[in-house]
Amino acid sequence: MNRQEFLIRLEHLLDGISPEEKAEALQYYNDYFDDAGPEKEQEVLEALGTPEKVAENIKKDYFASGKSSFAEDNYFSTIAPDKSLTKYGSSDGNYGSASYGAASGERASYTDSTIAPKSDRWPTWAIVLLTAACILLSPVLFGLLMGAFGLAVGFFSIIFAFGVTAVALFFSAVVLLIVAFMALPVSAGVCLALIGAGLVCAGIGFLFLVLTVVLCGIVTPAICRGIGWIFKRIFGKKEAM
CA distances from 69 to 1, 24, 66, 72, 133 (A): 37, 20, 9, 6, 54
Short-list 9, 102, 90, 91, CA closest to 57: 102
Binding site for other proteins (CB under 8 A): 21, 24-25, 27-29, 31-32, 34-36, 44, 47-49, 53-54, 57-58, 60-62, 65, 69-71, 74-75, 78, 81, 84-85, 88, 91-92, 95-96, 99-100, 104-110
CB of 91 or CB of 212, closer to other proteins: 91
Nearer to other proteins, 63 or 142 (CB): 63
Q: Which is nearer to other proteins, 87 or 211 (CB)?
A: 87
| Residue 221 C-beta: closest distance to other proteins, Å | 49
Q: How far apart are CA 55 and CA 7, in angstroms?
A: 11
Task: Give me the half-sphere count of Cα atoms (radius 13 Å) on the Cβ side of residue 44.
Answer: 18
- Whichever of 11 and 199 has its CB closer to other proteins, that residue is 11
d(CA 151, CA 212): 17
Least separation, in Å, of the C-beta of 75 and other proteins? Answer: 5
CB of 123 to other proteins, least distance (A): 34
Residue type, 101: G
Closest separation in Å from C-beta 102 to other proteins: 9
Give the number of other CB atoms < 10 A from CB of residue 85: 11
